[in-house]
Amino acid sequence: MSTTVPATPTERPVPLRSLDRVVGIWVGLGVVVGAVVLGTLVFGIDVPSWFDNHLQQWSKSAYGWTVDHRDDYWLFVFVFEPISTLLDTAVTTVADLLALLHWPGVLTLVGFTAWRVGGRSASVASVLSLFAIGLLGLWEPAMATMAIMVVSVVLALVIGIPLGVWSARSDRVDQILRPLLDTAQVMPTFVYLIPLVVMFGIQNPSAVLATVVYAVPPAVRLTNHGLRAVPTVIEEVGVAFGGTPRQRLLKVQAPVARPTILLGLNQVIMMAFGIVVIAAIVGTDDLGRLVLNTLQKNDIGAAAAPGVAIVLAAVALDRMSTGQRAVRRASRAPSALSRLWAARSIRDRWLIAGGTVVVVAVLSALAGADEFPEAWKVTIDGPVDAVLGWTKEHLRSGVPVIGGTQSISDALITHVLEPLRSWLVSVPWLAVVGGFAALGLLLGGWRLALLVTTCTVAIASMGEVPGGEGGTTAMWDIAMDTLSLVLVSIVISVVIAVPLGIVAGRSRRFDRALRPLLDFAQVMPQFVYLIPVVALFGASRATGVVAAVVYAVPPAIRLTSLGLQEVPVPPREAATSFGATSRQELIKVQLPLALRSILLGVNQTMLMVLATVVIAALVGAGGLGLQVIYGLTKSLQQIGQGVAGGLSIVLLAIVLDRLTQAWGDRADPQRRQ
């Protein structure tokens, strides 16, 4: 603002920079339009077939080489092999430990830890969850899943939190890490699952690594976000008191950023459990395998139990590590039990805690409680099948006013998805590139426009794949197909998630009621509920949209509600003291201050939608997801197709991510000042 043009006091000063900016944007848009017209005249409406980066061929030969040299190349023998052994040992050790404790011992350990970390309700929730798994008769496979998850989550945190701290401190690191995190989060697991098996062997090591890759991003992102959101005033207090950077991080920033970092932990756990079924492809003998096996028989009733058990296991681990109390530790008076506990010395605490667990474990061993009592087993196949049967019979058609799922599906495809897809495919490809570039220019500026252009052109350079009319199809056309699906899914998700997030942010009770539901939506293996959806919406893109929406809504609700809850009390009190109504306070104070967090929610929605592209393809949505599935399984022949398809998904994600991010930055009140 220092360079404003001097003006008469009555007139508002016109900032010179903003004038520059307006002119710059018009010139920029002119350049974009010119380039599109010229480019289309030169290169044509469709992507020319010579425009090919040969990634497909390259990946194919790289994969072939890896297969041939996995026993003799130094990297595989001296680096990957030991890592593989280490991971396998870690998982089997945790599994042995859990088996040694017997089920009563595990319940004691979990209940106790949850009580210390999360408080009484967390303790009750996690113990009940695990107990319910036992009742479902799935204790053993659940412990196998637990072992893989514990190792994966710990590894994800060990990698993720330091990276988050580092990127909070350095903008450059942040910039370098962002595309890598996007890739890790969005690159479909199917693309690298079989190569992982080739490099690290079947079962545990590959399962852990696939899980870690997928679960690390939220740890980094939310640590980074939390530390960066620490208000400058608080930071400066730390500096004023002469704190070293290390002290400031541990004593000032980390405590303030704690809720966000804990949300990060929650998301790491949810992500990790979200991949249990896919990881079972590489041969883990756990809940994921049970889901795969029952689905193979189309037995949804039987798949429901291990599916629910995965959710319960996730809830137990989550509540054990990120209970409400950890968030609001200071705000509540300790219970009598907690006071009694606090009065013990640390050594006593260790002895009591460890002692109790050991005693319970020994007693169980003596009592022969090796397995969860068979007599208590509860089956849910019947009720689940009954509910599904009813749903299929009554919701597909004949519902008053809306018709039924079948007509909704048909309308969504015929009137929304197909017109959008064919429009995106029919316009000159450079016009789509130009459209994104223009958006980048408007939301962010030259650099963003350039980045977006590079990414979209890179998608166009992915070459052709077999199939379609005339025998081959350009990857670009397939990407446009996916883009149409993704855009529609994002809009629907945001329309559902943001209002729910606002309500949850204002009502703690609603928030608490919603939480298990969100966990369920995020962790329940999608395949289990999507197969019945196929009956309702058909093997079609509409079912793909449902898949994406169900998966993308939870993080958006969480972040919106967190954003509202994090609005500092002083501005809200100020508003109240000025006589603002609750509604005014929401619209004028809370929402603007929470906007950044809400837009982060929108941004996450988008990444989630893109992360479901493959699952969507498994229920009939086609597009890039299908290319990835080809890549998983026709191994050598089409691995390139999978890599190119997967990378196209990542590039689309980066484009959409940077655009929404720039939009978020523009909406950020702190930056506007």
Residue (285 or 566) nearer to other proteins, CB? 285
* Residue 436 · residue 651 · CB < 8 Å: no
What the block records as the tokens of 346 is: 């640390």
| The amino acid at 8 | T
Cβ 383 to other proteins shortest distance, Å: 19
Non-local CB neighbours of 69 within 8 Å, separated by 6+ positions = 76
Give the integer Cα–Cα distance in Å for 656 and 185: 14
Residue (413 or 452) nearer to other proteins, CB? 413
Residue (157 or 313) nearer to other proteins, CB? 157
Cβ 181 to other proteins shortest distance, Å: 25
Residue (286 or 585) nearer to other proteins, CB? 286
Give the integer Cα–Cα distance in Å for 126 and 318: 8
Residue (251 or 506) nearer to other proteins, CB? 251
Cβ 463 to other proteins shortest distance, Å: 17
List the one residue out of 248, 254, 266 whose CA is nearest residue 224.
254
Residue (203 or 604) nearer to other proteins, CB? 203
Cβ 283 to other proteins shortest distance, Å: 3
Residue (94 or 438) nearer to other proteins, CB? 94
How deeply is 304 buried, as exposed, middle or buried, from its count of CB atoms within 10 A (0-12, 13-18, 19+)?
buried
Residue (332 or 392) nearer to other proteins, CB? 392
Cβ 94 to other proteins shortest distance, Å: 7
Cβ 470 to other proteins shortest distance, Å: 9
* Residue 309 · residue 102 · CB < 8 Å: no
Query: In 10 A of CB 135, how many CB atoms?
Result: 19
* Residue 424 · residue 474 · CB < 8 Å: no
Give the integer Cα–Cα distance in Å for 408 and 397: 10
Cβ 406 to other proteins shortest distance, Å: 9
Q: Phi and psi (nearest 5°) for 400?
A: -60, 150
Give the integer Cα–Cα distance in Å for 232 and 34: 44
CA 259 to chain CA centroid, Å, is 18
Cβ 186 to other proteins shortest distance, Å: 19
Residue (60 or 558) nearer to other proteins, CB? 60
Find the angle CA(546)-CA(550)-CA(552) to the nearest 5 degrees.
115
Strands (E), 417-557: 464-466, 472-474
Q: Are strands 472-474 and 464-466 parallel, antiparallel or unpaired?
A: antiparallel
Cβ 495 to other proteins shortest distance, Å: 22
